[in-house]
């Protein structure tokens, strides 16, 4: 909308009733997007009005995981987001041809996020989830500026090395004065298909370590909201656009995710 003034972000207005969660991680590949999509689907299944902004601009994958293959449409000067599994979703991938890469610098990212938040017609949402890129980059800073009331949800694996990086990503909250709602540990062991004994593929204790570290650095209590095991059904659900919380809600990963959604 060249030349016109930027619209206000409705979620940042005082008195907004929408809870905004920015889902962050230190590294890529820890399951941040899978967690975002499943939490969104679980909350929508519970009757909440839910939206997801795929703010992982370079690594966008939310629409596929959510099964959202519709395109946004324009009504007057607002963008109508497609929805899937009861969740409204917007992603940069909906505006790039084919699988073209996004080659942008910081200011463009900020502008895209601004538009996703202010120019998309979200309606009255109960919850908005933002799937952030891994790490502490431009987007995390833009989120803090555009929606200072967004609370941060940190996703980590149990691995100590990964936890260290996740803790760093979460501690950005000190500088931006944001609240950290909690830590989710993903890929917390895998039941052996032969004997059912848990195999700690990525070690143990990462979630607890991040929560304790962030409690110390922020001075506020940061809880571990739950641990999600490695589960083939979760991965398959992501590939097929059918979140495991809906297709197999009582599977180990499905029930862990639903319990976390209930705490938000």
Please state the φ and ψ torsions of residue 191, each to the nearest 5 degrees.
-65, 130
- Residue 157 CB, shortest distance to ligand ADP, in Å, is 9
Q: Is 67 annotated in some ligand binding site?
A: no
- Judged by CB under 6 A, which stretch of 23-31, 72-80, 143-151, 163-171 contacts ligand ADP? 23-31
Of 22, 30, 24, nearest in space to 162 by CA: 30
Can you give the three-state secondary structure of the chain, one letter per residue?
A: CCCCCCCCCHHHCCCCCCEEEEEEECCCCCCHHHHHHHHHHHHHHCCCCEEEEECCCCCCCHHHHHCCCCCCEEECCEEECCEECCEEEEEHHHCCCCCCCCCCCHHHHHHHHHHHHHCECCCCCCEEEEECCCCCCHHHHHHHHHCCCCEEEEEECCCHHHHHHHHHHHCHHHHHCCCEEEEEEECCCEECCCCCCEECCCCCCHHHHHHHHHHHHHCCCCCEEEEECCCHHHHHHHHHCCCHHHHCCCCHHHHHHHHHHHCC
Candidate list 1, 6, 29, 221; residue touching ligand ADP; CB under 6 A: 29
Q: In the complex with ligand ADP, which residue's Cβ is closer, 80 or 227?
A: 227
* 54 touches ligand ADP (CB under 6 A): no
Q: Is 137 annotated in some ligand binding site?
A: no
- Judged by CB under 6 A, which stretch of 5-13, 28-36, 74-82, 204-212 contacts ligand ADP? 28-36
* 218 touches ligand ADP (CB under 6 A): no
Candidate list 26, 158, 207, 238; residue touching ligand ADP; CB under 6 A: 238
Q: Is 170 annotated in some ligand binding site?
A: no
Q: Is 71 annotated in some ligand binding site?
A: no
* 231 touches ligand ADP (CB under 6 A): yes
Candidate list 26, 31, 82, 170; residue touching ligand ADP; CB under 6 A: 31
Candidate list 11, 19, 21, 25; residue touching ligand ADP; CB under 6 A: 25
Q: Is 26 annotated in some ligand binding site?
A: yes
- Judged by CB under 6 A, which stretch of 101-109, 166-174, 192-200, 225-233 contacts ligand ADP? 225-233
Q: Is 29 annotated in some ligand binding site?
A: yes
* Known binding residues for ATP: 26-33
Q: Which residues bind ligand ADP (CB under 6 A)?
A: 25, 28-34, 61, 186-187, 228, 230-231, 234-235, 238, 253
């Amino acid at each position: 909308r060249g030349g016109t003034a930027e619209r206000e972000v409705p979620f940042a207005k005082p008195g907004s009733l929408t809870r905004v969660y920015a889902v962050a991680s230190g590294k890529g590949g820890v399951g941040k997007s899978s967690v975002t999509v499943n939490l969104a689907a679980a909350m929508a299944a519970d009757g909440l009005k839910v939206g997801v902004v795929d703010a992982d601009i370079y690594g966008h994958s939310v629409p596929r995981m959510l099964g959202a293959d519709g395109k946004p449409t324009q009504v007057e000067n607002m963008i109508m987001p497609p929805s899937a599994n009861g969740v409204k979703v917007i992603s940069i991938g909906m505006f790039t041809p084919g699988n073209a890469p996004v080659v942008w610098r910081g200011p463009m990212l900020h502008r895209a996020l601004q538009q996703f938040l202010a120019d998309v017609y979200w309606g009255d949402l109960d919850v908005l989830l933002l799937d952030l890129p891994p790490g502490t980059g431009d987007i995390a800073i833009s989120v803090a500026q555009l929606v200072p009331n967004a609370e941060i949800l940190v996703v980590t694996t149990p691995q100590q090395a990964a936890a260290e990086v996740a803790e760093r990503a979460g501690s950005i909250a000190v500088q931006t004065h944001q609240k950290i709602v909690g830590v989710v540990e993903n890929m917390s062991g895998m039941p052996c298909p032969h004997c059912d004994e848990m195999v700690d593929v990525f070690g143990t204790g990462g979630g607890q370590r991040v929560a304790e570290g962030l409690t110390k650095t922020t001075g506020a209590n940061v809880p571990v909201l739950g641990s999600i095991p490695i589960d083939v059904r979760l991965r398959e659900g992501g590939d097929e656009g059918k979140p495991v919380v809906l297709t197999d809600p009582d599977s180990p990963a499905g029930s862990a995710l639903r319990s976390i959604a209930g705490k938000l």
